[in-house]
Amino acid sequence: MLYVVATIAPAFFLPPPPPGGAPVAEIASYYSGHRDALLVAGWFGLLAFPFGFAFVSGLGLILRGPDTTSAWLVVIALVSISVTLAVAAVQGILALAVPYVSASASPAEVKLLADITQLGFSATFAFEISYFVASGFLALRSPVIPDWLGYTAMIAAFPALLGSLGVVVGSGPLAAGGPATLVALVAGLLWWLAASLLLLLRPRPLVR
């Protein structure tokens, strides 16, 4: 839950950055105009990652089963989300670098760094797809987790797929940092929030 709060909290205080491919002037104006707030929000967002690693590790231990298939699914889920969070951490550092250099860099340089940041944002969703699919199967196989958590994990994989298309789409709603990216982010955070609330409110084994 702390990971979700720390990740999404900055969105309540700042407008979303321009998507990849936005005009130079728009990007430069955004980062120079919100420089201080973006630096604070970026630092706060980086604090979310330790919570994220702790949560997904604990969830993997709960979802694991005694059979070989479940063991493989847990490995896939943990490796996938570890790579996702690692890439997201690098992307978060780049996101901090954009406002940091905006006061001294040229508008073209700010745009280049901002586009790279948005591209990295979309790339994280490509790794996240296998996490949701593996977690969904694990939840459906688990005797202590309700089926709806598994089905919603499968559903969350679809927005992640669309969000990952920002790597190859340069404009429109599927572009990096565009609507598809934001929907994928919100869908993933909502699933993690639901999973964390389930573990907090239903600590005892659930009877099917």
DSSP the chain: -HHHHHHHGGGGTSPPPPPTT--HHHHHHHHHHTHHHHHHHHHHHHTHHHHHHHHHHHHHHHH--SSHHHHHHHHHHHHHHHHHHHHHHHHHHHHHHHHHHTTTS-HHHHHHHHHHHHHHHHHHHHHHHHHHHHHHHHHHH-SSS-HHHHHHHHHHHHHHHHHHGGGT--SSTTSTTSHHHHHHHHHHHHHHHHHHHHHHH--SPPP-
The verdict on residue 84 lying in a domain is: yes
How far is the C-alpha of 124 from the C-alpha of 128, rounded, in Å? 6
The verdict on residue 98 lying in a domain is: yes
Token pair for residue 2?
A: 């702390």
204: nearest Cα among 146, 144, 143, 139 = 144
61: nearest Cα among 50, 49, 73 = 73
The verdict on residue 148 lying in a domain is: yes
The verdict on residue 206 lying in a domain is: no
How far is the C-alpha of 95 from the C-alpha of 187, rounded, in Å? 21
The verdict on residue 145 lying in a domain is: yes
The verdict on residue 121 lying in a domain is: yes
> How confident is the model at residue 9, as a pLDDT?
59
The verdict on residue 207 lying in a domain is: no
Assess whether pLDDT exceeds 90 at residue 177. no
**Is there a contact between 99 and 31 (Cβ–Cβ < 8 Å)?**
yes
User: How many domains does the chain fold into?
Assistant: 1
Residue 8 C-alpha from the chain's centroid: 10
* Residue pLDDT, tens place only, 91-135: 888 888 888 888 788 888 888 888 888 888 888 898 889 989 988
* Residue pLDDT, tens place only, 179-208: 898 899 889 888 888 888 887 776 444 444
Instruction: Read off the pTM.
Output: 0.73
Q: Which domain holds residue 168?
A: 2-201
* Residue pLDDT, tens place only, 65-100: 677 777 788 888 888 888 887 888 888 888 888 888
The verdict on residue 106 lying in a domain is: yes
